[in-house]
Amino acid sequence: MYSILVVDDDELGRSMLKLFLQDAGFMVHSAVDGAEALQTARSEAPDVIITDALMPIIDGFELCRQCKMDSSLRHIPIIIYSGDYDREEDQRLGLSMGAFRYLLKPSSAETIVKTVNEALSESILTPRTDSDSSLDEQMQVLRSYNEVLFNKLEAKMQQLEESITRHQKSEEALKVMHSQIIQQEKMASIGQLAAGVAHEINNPMGFISSNLTTLSRYAERLDEYIARLHQSLESCPSHPDTEEIDAMRKKLKVEYIISDIRELVNESLDGATRVKRIVQDLKSFSRVDQAESCRVNLNEALETTINIAWNELKYVATVERHFGDIPDVVCYPQQLNQVFLNLLLNAAQSMEKPGSITLRTWSDDSGVCVSVADTGKGMPEEVRQRIFEPFFTTKEPGKGTGLGLSISADIVHKHAGDITVESEVGQGTTFTVRLPLASPTIALK
């Protein structure tokens, strides 16, 4: 029975080879590296050696070379069986170092057994010789061996660098995703809080507005009643208290009070109406009840966002609206409100002196467009190119997370849209958002 020495540091590969060869009727010895294989070969004298190329301590090439240098082992046919060294130059090196055959992993059991039988046949037919290769030949083989090892090491280093780069990018992506999730959770919490506050304000504002309206009607009736009394007194000049009542009327400024009541009530009603509008805009902006997609008019969404951000805008810029006649778009309203709010706040924060913010909307064949232009300080080209990068900010530490525009761009892209920026230092910046009428990634609920 012929014996085969299987050399492989991979246990599964080693076991598979043993199984193939044992099923074919061979006795099988095994080793986990070239050093162990040399010891086993000297003690067991196998008829054929099948070795992997890439192994620790002594690899398959060096094992082959040392066997051919050893007079007691050089007659043993060696089959190199490798999946790592698979280039033609690797195969040529293995054969030049004395290997009988060079097989690439994975090979079928039939191929392996056939190659072993061919090696045995050639070993029987070829007489043993003790001739050594010349020094030049050995040096040439060693140079080829070193070149292959260097190329393999270089390839492995490149793979390692690529793996490290991918790992770093994955870590950065996870960091960005984590920060975006936190930011979105904050926005969702703020939205829920805003909706709750709006609801709490809306209830008392309801009866305040109702009471003011009723008070206005009561004041009109009192005014009518007092005017009628005054006419009655004037029709009775002989009434003993007429002069005294006239004097008191002037002293108490009844006419002024009556007219001022109307103005006070009207002003209060106007203030109540403004509060109700702010509350409604707050509810519309939060859109807690509209987490699903729906059709939205972006002109209305912009008006809502302007009202929400008005306290940040009114002291630094005048807001100009140039809204076109645009169709509705299918979107997630709360997310787009966040985009418009970020653009408006960025425009306001870019103002070094009072300026203007111009909002335009229009539609074309591709969908609906929204632009937010400011007359702020603008930005240089190197900043413009990085403006949508996560965590990139030009603000002072503690005054910005660098996520606002990154999240905005992500939201627009999820709507199958596009966001671009044009800027000139000292002239201002214009952000343009383009959205399709119906995104292929957003289904209408």
Please name every residue paired with 102 in a beta bridge, in sequence order, or none if there are none. 80
Per-residue pLDDT averaged across 88-103, rounded?
Answer: 84
What would the mean pLDDT of 311-318 be, rounded to a whole number?
88
User: Is the domain covering 290-445 a CATH 3.30.565.10 domain?
Assistant: yes
Q: How far apart are the two ends of the chain, measured CA to CA in Å?
A: 75
Tens digit of pLDDT for each residue in 196-207?
666 667 778 777
pLDDT score at 49: 93
Task: Return the bridge partners of 361, or none.
Answer: 323, 370
* pLDDT mean over 285-309: 77
**How many other C-beta atoms are found inside a 10 Å radius of the C-beta of residue 159?**
10
Of 108-122, 264-278, 314-328, 329-343, the least confident: 264-278
pLDDT at 27: 94
Helix (H/G/I), strand (E/B), else coil: 324: coil
Q: Averaged over 8-30, what is the pLDDT?
A: 91
373-389 residue pLDDT tens: 999 999 998 888 888 88
CA quadruple 350, 352, 353, 356: dihedral, nearest 10: -10
Burial class (CB in 10 A: 0-12, 13-18, 19+), 106: exposed
Average pLDDT over residues 402-417: 84
Q: For the chain, give every domain's residue range.
A: 3-132, 175-289, 290-445
- Tell me if 144 sits within 8 A of 99, measured CB to CB: no
383 contacts 436 by C-beta, under 8 angstroms: no
**Mean model confidence pLDDT for the chain:** 81
pLDDT of residue 340: 92
Whether the pLDDT of residue 292 is over 60: the answer is yes
pLDDT given at position 57: 86
**What is the predicted pLDDT for the residue at 288?**
45
Share of the chain above pLDDT 90, in %: 27
Mean pLDDT lowest among 1-5, 73-77, 121-125: 121-125
Query: What's the whole-number mean pLDDT along residues 284-294?
Result: 59
Residue 425 CA, chain-centre distance (Å), reads 29
Residue 79 has pLDDT above 80, yes or no: yes
Which range, of 26-30, 36-40, 234-238, averages the lowest pLDDT?
234-238
Q: What does the buried/exposed string (b/e) look like for 202-235 if buried means 16 or more CB atoms within 10 Å of the residue's CB?
A: eeebeebbeebeeebeebeeebeeeeeeeeeeee
* Percent of the chain with pLDDT strictly greater than 70: 79
Residues 334/191, Cβ–Cβ less than 8 Å: yes
What is the pLDDT, as a whole number, of residue 323?
95
Where does 3-132 sit in CATH, by number?
Answer: 3.40.50.2300
Q: Are 247 and 177 in contact (CB under 8 A)?
A: no
Mean pLDDT of 289-303: 80
Residue 287 in this model has a pLDDT that exceeds 60: no
Lowest mean pLDDT among 21-35, 91-105, 118-132, 156-170: 118-132
Residue 50 contacts residue 16 (beta carbons within 8 Å) = no
CA distance 6 to 21: 10
What's the pLDDT score for residue 289? Answer: 45
Whether 39 has a pLDDT exceeding 90, the answer reads: yes
Count Cβ atoms within 10 A of the Cβ of residue 298 and give its class: 0-12 exposed, 13-18 middle, 19 or more buried: buried
Taking only the tens place, the pLDDT of each residue in 215-225 is 888 888 888 88
The string of pLDDT tens digits covering residues 119-166 is 888 877 665 555 555 556 556 656 666 666 666 667 777 878 888 888
Please state, in angstroms and rounded to a whole number, the distance separating the CA atoms of residues 4 and 49.
6
User: What is the greatest pairwise CA distance in the chain?
Assistant: 159
C-alpha span between 101 and 329 (Å, rounded): 68
Q: Which residue has the tokens 């910046």?
A: 429
